[in-house]
Copies of this chain bind each other. A is one copy, B any other.
Amino acid sequence: MYAALADGSRRTMVDRLSRGPATVKQLAEPLTMSLPAVLQHLRVLEESGLVRSEKVGRVRTCRLEPAALQQAEQWIADRRAGWTARLDRLEAFLEEDEQ
């Protein structure tokens, strides 16, 4: 899933989708690459669970899957929390030592 976010073009796509659903064409518009390339990025995003899409007529509409984003966010938050907790304990220890 972080692998999906590792690519700049894909982050641009996620950014676009965070402002609302979009078609493949619309996702491709700000990107300087061929449509097949965009399709491949979209596939990566879908496989990571970050994006869901469905086709109506000849138009495929994509939308963000906030639950997946939250999961990624949570992992980082947890590691960071562990680290700051450690710092707090160290601080408390130094404080205690001072007395």
On whether the beta carbons of B70 and A73 are closer than 8 Å, the reply is: no
| Those of A1-52 within 8 Å (CB) of chain B | 2-3, 5-6, 11, 14-15, 17-20
Chain A interface, number of residues (Cβ within 8 angstroms): 27
Main secondary structure of the interface of A (DSSP, over half): helix
Q: Say how many copies of this protein the assembly contains.
A: 2
Among the 9-residue stretches A53-61, A75-83, A91-99, the one with 4 or more Cβ atoms under 8 Å from chain B is: A75-83
Of A6, A18, A19, A75, most B-chain CB atoms within 10 Å: A18
Interface: A64 (CB within 8 A): yes
7 cross-chain pairs, A with B, having the tightest CB-CB distances, nearest first: A18-B82, A18-B79, A3-B6, A2-B5, A6-B6, A73-B76, A2-B6
